[in-house]
Amino acid sequence: MDKLERMKQLAETLNEWARLYYEQDAPVVSDAEYDRMYDELRSLEIEEGFSLKNSPTHRVGGAPQKKFEQSKHLGKLYSLDKCQSFEEFEEWCARIVKAVGSLPILTCEYKFDGLTLNLLYDGGKLIKASTRGDGVVGEVVTAQVMTIRKLPTEISYKGKIEIQGEGVLRLSRLAEYNATAAEPLKNARNGAAGAIRNLDPTVTAQRGLSFMAYNIGYSDKTFESQAEMREFLIEEGFEVEGAFDVVPDVRMAEKFADITEETRPKLDYLIDGVVFKVNSVALRDEIGFTEKFPKWAVAYKFKADEMTTRLNDVVWQVSRSAKLTPIALLEPVDIGGVTVSRATLNNYGDILKKKVRIGDRVFIRRSNDVIPEITGVAVEDEGATAIEKPENCPVCGAPVKEVGAFLYCTGEECAPKIISKLDHFASKDAMDIEGFSEKTAEQLYNETGMKDAVDLLNLTTFDLYGLDGFGDKKIANLLAAIDKAKHTSADRFLFALGIDGIGKKTAKDLVKRFKTIDKIAVASVEALSDVDGIGGVLAQNVYDYFRDEQNSDYVKRLLGCGITFEENAKTEGVFSGKRIVLTGSLPTYRRGEATALIEDNGGEVAASVSKTVDLVLAGEDAGSKLDKAKKLGIQIIDENQFKTMLGI
Ligand SMILES: [Zn+2]
């Protein structure tokens, strides 16, 4: 293809992309892909020494849309010259030095990624808000912008002034919105742009946008520097978020960029680079403008974190909690220097919401430390096929059940589930079997057919002999560790069972109250829920667990493996050695509270009155137990006496 043909083709494609982006807020490629093609066109134009009439390089932003009233800005909104590396930034600095003799003070600030807005204030009131449009004429979106809560509609400065900034959607707000939205937003930038360029301001209001002010365009008032403009914006009550610095040299400017790039994944809003400007307004006038942008400012762009690529297939991964997670297999794509071929689709509900299908071109976002994520469809493919909901677990074949947005494997024999249970049983806060990791669990499951903790506790040298990585010493160590772990405490054992919702602390509290596993196993829901920190749901879980035949059999078999429990340390107190019966309802204490007080002070709570009982704590409506106590001549106390004894 000759160069002219290529230029025509590039211009056409870029114009179509820009139209979709600016006029319909429906981008079909990532910024990085747009920029790459744009740069190719630019360099061809420089090479050939001319540009096509319809070249997007003549334009700033998109043409304003007919549906909004249009308005000419008092001061032109320029776009920014860009650099992608420190070398290019240093070349820019060299041009500045050439223009004014030496490198002047520079300001450094974030480059927000949202929709640029221009706000006109007059007489201290916000009278018009418009989009940037083509830089000269924008669309009037005053009603929409008025819905931004923190935006000052009145300022103390009474002259005519245009405040420029970015309408952005905070990431926390985006997550909140998407959690309940029928149509999730693909990204924060799009979410902000779509909210403002919507004819219905109530839609804008629902999104909950922010306005980050960063510049003053036209003004009756003279400002001497960028730093002074920023001060003004802060004083007038605008949201001026993000780091800002005034630096004397190239090195400091580059350091600002480095630190910002590191901070970027932690920010609550999108930025795609930093902006460097000559601080002094007088010097800016000296340096001047090109047709498109000021020569005294430059945007240093960070590496891309979003691209588009084709979704080739979806596989389902079973997690340790038996959850099925859809993993997207992608046509490999370079995102900021890293090749990505897999991404998460989070869950089945997310697939339905995002309407992603196999074969579609999708947006994929990669931030530091996080698994790349598909955020939405860029271009639908005609031949695309739906991602099917698996009916059966891909690992064990058991039926899958749907709970909310999630799918779960119901199989008892599902490998990830078994391995995770074994791992939990042996973990430090549970049985604490030294040297037994999830990896060991996986190996023993695969190679010895180990199915549960009973198998684990019954391991022999014979089972382990000849396994990869199991020398004599390792076998001896593991068997010794298992032996040692068999002497444990009741709360560790209870925690090791992995009953839904029973953590370390709850297991301790239960054992503190009921003393033994046997007693917990027969306790009623009421008695269980009387324990501090255990609500009805947890109590029911524990109750149900021990009523399930399979579970109670499992516990019995485990205990039969030679598990012994440490004696619970005896607590000393006013009730030491005393057996106490509770009857009737007490004026202030719940039954569980009174029981805890007795036990914490060395006493034991007995269920029925007999000669061996030392004390009866009686409340209102005490029935036959009280009569029997009287008959046997057992000391009877009420709540007040009880408190006195405790010194409360
Ligand atoms: Zn399964």
Q: Is residue 67's pLDDT more than 80? A: no
pLDDT score recorded for residue 588: 85
474 burial type by CB count under 10 A (0-12 exposed, 13-18 middle, 19+ buried): middle
Instruction: Tell me the CA–centroid distance for residue 215 and ligand 1, in Å.
Output: 57
Instruction: Tell me the CA–centroid distance for residue 536 and ligand 1, in Å.
Output: 30
Instruction: Tell me the CA–centroid distance for residue 417 and ligand 1, in Å.
Output: 8
Instruction: Tell me the CA–centroid distance for residue 455 and ligand 1, in Å.
Output: 20
Q: Is residue 528's pLDDT more than 80? A: yes
How many whole angstroms separate alpha carbon 497 and alpha carbon 491? 10
Strand-pairing partners, residue 559, are none
Closest CA to 573 of 604, 528, 527, 617: 604
Instruction: Tell me the CA–centroid distance for residue 390 and ligand 1, in Å.
Output: 11
In Å, what is the CA distance from 151 to each residue of 33, 388, 400, 467? Answer: 34, 46, 49, 68
Closest CA to 637 of 648, 624, 622: 622
With bands split at pLDDT 50, 70 and 90, how would you rate the model's confidence at 366?
Answer: confident
pLDDT score recorded for residue 266: 85
pLDDT score recorded for residue 320: 62
Instruction: Tell me the CA–centroid distance for residue 316 and ligand 1, in Å.
Output: 11
Q: What is the pLDDT of residues 253-283, one digit of tens each?
A: 999 999 998 888 889 999 999 999 999 999 9
103-128 mean pLDDT: 95
pLDDT score recorded for residue 252: 94
Instruction: Tell me the CA–centroid distance for residue 434 and ligand 1, in Å.
Output: 28
Instruction: Tell me the CA–centroid distance for residue 410 and ligand 1, in Å.
Output: 7
Give Cα 519 to chain centroid, integer Å: 41
Terminal-to-terminal C-alpha distance of the chain:
94
Q: What is the pLDDT of residues 392-438, one digit of tens each?
A: 998 889 999 998 889 999 987 888 888 988 999 999 999 999 999 99
User: Which pair of tokens denotes residue 55?
Assistant: 């070249």
Q: Is residue 104's pLDDT more than 80? A: yes
566-584 mean pLDDT: 79
- Which of the two residues, 450 and 413, has the higher pLDDT score? 450
In Å, what is the CA distance from 607 to each residue of 278, 355, 579? Answer: 83, 61, 10
Q: Is residue 459's pLDDT more than 60? A: yes
170-184 mean pLDDT: 85
pLDDT score recorded for residue 475: 94
pLDDT score recorded for residue 370: 67
Q: What is the pLDDT of residues 464-484, one digit of tens each?
A: 988 888 999 999 999 999 999
Instruction: Tell me the CA–centroid distance for residue 319 and ligand 1, in Å.
Output: 9
Q: Is residue 503's pLDDT more than 80? A: yes
547: Cα within 13 Å, side-chain hemisphere: 9
- Which of the two residues, 586 and 497, has the higher pLDDT score? 497
Residues comprising the chain, all counted: 648
Instruction: Tell me the CA–centroid distance for residue 313 and ligand 1, in Å.
Output: 20
Instruction: Tell me the CA–centroid distance for residue 359 and ligand 1, in Å.
Output: 27
pLDDT score recorded for residue 444: 92
- The top-scoring range by mean pLDDT among 195-199, 466-470, 484-488, 575-579 is 484-488
pLDDT score recorded for residue 417: 83
Mean pLDDT of the chain: 89
Instruction: Tell me the CA–centroid distance for residue 442 and ligand 1, in Å.
Output: 15
Instruction: Tell me the CA–centroid distance for residue 412 and ligand 1, in Å.
Output: 8
Instruction: Tell me the CA–centroid distance for residue 506 and ligand 1, in Å.
Output: 29
Q: Which domains are assigned to the chain?
A: 3-58 (1.10.287.610), 70-297 (3.30.470.30), 306-408 (2.40.50.140), 415-488 (1.10.150.20), 491-565 (1.10.150.20), 579-646 (3.40.50.10190)
The catalytic residue positions are: 111
User: Which pair of tokens denotes residue 12?
Assistant: 């056409």
pLDDT score recorded for residue 62: 58
pLDDT score recorded for residue 624: 84
Q: Is residue 389's pLDDT more than 90? A: yes
How many whole angstroms separate alpha carbon 275 and alpha carbon 215? 12
99-119 mean pLDDT: 94
Parallel, antiparallel or unpaired: strands 115-122 and 125-131: antiparallel
Instruction: Tell me the CA–centroid distance for residue 504 and ligand 1, in Å.
Output: 27
Instruction: Tell me the CA–centroid distance for residue 406 and ligand 1, in Å.
Output: 14
With bands split at pLDDT 50, 70 and 90, how would you rate the model's confidence at 571?
Answer: low
Q: What is the pLDDT of residues 181-194, one digit of tens each?
A: 877 787 888 889 88
Instruction: Tell me the CA–centroid distance for residue 374 and ligand 1, in Å.
Output: 25
- Alpha helix segments (H runs only) across 81-236: 86-100, 142-145, 171-180, 188-196, 201-207, 226-235
Instruction: Tell me the CA–centroid distance for residue 401 and ligand 1, in Å.
Output: 11
User: Which pair of tokens denotes residue 563?
Assistant: 């598990």
Q: What is the pLDDT of residues 309-337, one digit of tens each?
A: 999 999 998 876 688 999 999 999 988 77
636-648 mean pLDDT: 89
Instruction: Tell me the CA–centroid distance for residue 347 and ligand 1, in Å.
Output: 16
- Give the sign of the dihedral formed by CA 134, CA 136, CA 137, CA 141: positive
* Range of lowest pLDDT (218-222, 519-523, 586-590): 586-590
Phi, psi of 64 (to 5 degrees): -65, 150
How many whole angstroms separate alpha carbon 145 and alpha carbon 196? 7
244-256 mean pLDDT: 94
With bands split at pLDDT 50, 70 and 90, how would you rate the model's confidence at 56?
Answer: confident
